[in-house]
Structure 1
Amino acid sequence: METYNPCLDCGICCTHFRISFYWAEADDAPGGFVPADMTEQLTPHLRCMKGSNSIPRRCSALAGTVGEKVWCTIYENRPTPCREFPVYFDDGQPNPKCDELRARIGLPALLPQAPADSAAA
């Protein structure tokens, strides 16, 4: 059974944060996976996703219309900050920062879900 993914009708986080990460996550480094041509160098040790380092921000990997229908064009190869930003915490509570950003574009707050460890029960 497929579950609803609120990120697919939002995408505001991809237009709010500078998405910076360790340079070796890019695919021009051994073992890297983020497409290097979609990044820019910040420091000798950090890169960020193109489009996320200037205002207005919009990650170069974001496709679609924010607040309606969006998707990440490199989802399987997205950088660590994107993988680690939780929409829901392990206890099933929505991330307040996510709800705050959703409110800015007129989307409703997320409802709590069952805790992650109870999903298999």
Structure 2
Amino acid sequence: MEEASPIDLSTCCQNCGACCGYSENWPRFSIESDEELAAIPEALVNARQSGMRCEGDRCSALKGEIGKQTACGIYEVRPEVCRTCMPGDAECAMARRKFGLPIIEAV
């Protein structure tokens, strides 16, 4: 029996994007400073100024096709909640399930 190849955790997010399309309530602001919030383009901030603007459940900064090839349009200045979601954690698994993607086994 052939052993499965390990998933490259450094690139799996670029092949996924599920967390960025999971819920319009997900890409919220929490502990960002005023300076960090000012770095996020105003057109990508929701009307309540509480998080990222979404199109349906999908963050408006997400580029590409979920489950195929994605990228964050504001990666360097993305909110803290986006920085803390890690491949294979509970939030990742929940988002991947929504899109029918296989769960990543965190090591």
Normalised TM-score (structure 1): 0.65
Aligned to 2:54: 51
RMSD between superposed Cα atoms in Å: 2.3
1:104 paired with 2:107, answer: no
Which of 7, 14, 37 aligns to 1:26? It is 37
Q: In the alignment, is the contact (CA less than 8 A) between 2:14 and 2:70 conserved in 1? A: yes
**Greater gyration radius:** 1
CA deviations over 1:94-118 (Å, ceiling 9, x no partner)? 31331232123222111232xxxxx
Aligned to 2:44: 38
Aligned to 2:5: none
Structure 1 residue runs of 5 or longer lacking an equivalent are: 28-32, 88-93, 114-121
Residue 50 of structure 2: SS of its match in structure 1? strand
Q: In the alignment, is the contact (CA less than 8 A) between 2:85 and 2:91 conserved in 1? A: no
Structure 2 residue runs of 5 or longer lacking an equivalent are: 1-7
| Structure 1 runs, 4 residues or longer, greater than 6 Å off | none
Q: Distance in 2 between matches of 1:111 and 1:95?
A: 8
- Paired positions, count: 95
Q: Distance in 2 between matches of 1:68 and 1:74?
A: 19
Q: In the alignment, is the contact (CA less than 8 A) between 1:26 and 1:36 conserved in 2? A: no
Q: Distance in 1 between matches of 2:72 and 2:105?
A: 23
CA deviations over 1:15-64 (Å, ceiling 9, x no partner)? 1132221582322xxxxx2222210242xxx5211116xxx211110000
Q: In the alignment, is the contact (CA less than 8 A) between 2:45 and 2:53 conserved in 1? A: yes
Normalised TM-score (structure 2): 0.73
Which structure exhibits the higher relative contact order, with contacts defined as CA atoms closer than 8 Å and separated by 6 or more residues? 2
Aligned to 1:119: none
Q: Distance in 1 between matches of 2:85 and 2:74?
A: 16
